[in-house]
Amino acid sequence: MEIKKVSVLGAGLMGHGIAQVSAQMAKYEVTIRDVKQEFLDKGMGMIKNSLQKFTQKQVISEQDMSNTLRRIHPTLDMKEAVEDANLIIEAVPEKLQIKKAVLAEADKYAKGDAIIASNTSSISITELASSTQRPEKFCGMHFFNPPQLMKLVEIIRGAKTSDETIDTIVAVSQKMGKETVVVKKDSAGFIVNRILVPALNEAFNLVWEGVAEPEDIDKAIKLGLNWPMGPLTLVDYLGIDTTLAIAEVLQKELGPKYSPSPLLRQMTRAKLLGRKSGKGFYDWRKK
């Protein structure tokens, strides 16, 4: 199946980046939809800011920037967003009921042959697919933050996902300039988060138990394991509430060894969410 038009549902942290790479790298016509004008305006502002950085670094030309922005069409209307799309990528908050409601509405207005993909980082693809009438044309398409820079896309097969759907999404991802891995079995956390989240959770426990200061934990992992950034800096980027949501899914699906750290819960309740709230383990208001 040939993909010409892409619809991205959600203009937030991940959605705006997915819309950008769809328009910039793959040259698709893209609609980006959100529920409030302020969310769309913020998302489009982040896209412009990202493209300006690429222009300043001479990665792309001013003409490339203009052409990319011309391909992206923001809208508040679900029907308008999805009715002509060949591929719909859902990128709303990591909450099951929100995702299912959005996917059911998109499915209602989408063309019969359109593929729907979820950018979920942990939720069952089979369960999300059940909120649509096209489980064979549904899969996971998990981008990493920020999508403009991170090379990987995890492509996840649900219980009923067809081979053709997987093949199409592999080709689309590669057109976007991404490297792909296919997750053959719909298992919570897929590959990356199943390995990463327990490591991040242990970093929270080290702070909670007073074993070391956050700066020293980050320094130890950067220099000892050659990570590009320490785990506590990373959770500040990812969002501490998002990290908790993934940990809770892993605990529910895979057992108590994935239980979230008390500090992870406490910081989420205190709205110390990392970069997006201005403060997490580090103060981002000064940066």
pLDDT tens digits for range 106-131: 999 999 999 999 999 889 999 999 99
DSSP string, 34-75: -SSHHHHHHHHHHHHHHHHHHHHTTSS-HHHHHHHHHHEEEE
Q: Read off the pLDDT band of 59 (50, 70, 90).
A: very high
Q: Read off the pLDDT band of 10 (50, 70, 90).
A: very high
**What is the residue type of 168?**
T
pLDDT tens digits for range 130-162: 999 999 999 999 999 899 999 999 999 999 999
Mean pLDDT, to the nearest integer, of 16-43?
Answer: 97
Please say if the pLDDT value at position 102 is more than 90. Answer: yes
CB 89 within 8 A of CB 103: no
Superfamily name with CATH number, domain 192-277: N-(1-d-carboxylethyl)-l-norvaline Dehydrogenase; domain 2 (1.10.1040.10)
Known catalytic residues are: 121, 142, 154, 193
Say what the pLDDT of residue 122 is: 85
Q: Which residues contact 175 (CB under 8 A, 6 or more apart)?
A: 25, 26
pTM of the model: 0.90
Please say if the pLDDT value at position 287 is more than 70. Answer: no
Say what the pLDDT of residue 286 is: 81
Domain at 5-183, CATH from 3.40.50.300, 3.40.50.720, 3.90.700.10, 1.10.10.10: 3.40.50.720
Percent of the chain residues past pLDDT 90, beyond the cut: 92
Question: Domain residues of the chain, as ranges?
Answer: 5-183, 192-277
231-238 and 214-225 are packed helices; what angle lies between their axes, rounded to 10 degrees? 110
Report the chain's mean pLDDT, rounded to a whole number.
Answer: 96
pLDDT tens digits for range 256-270: 989 999 999 999 999
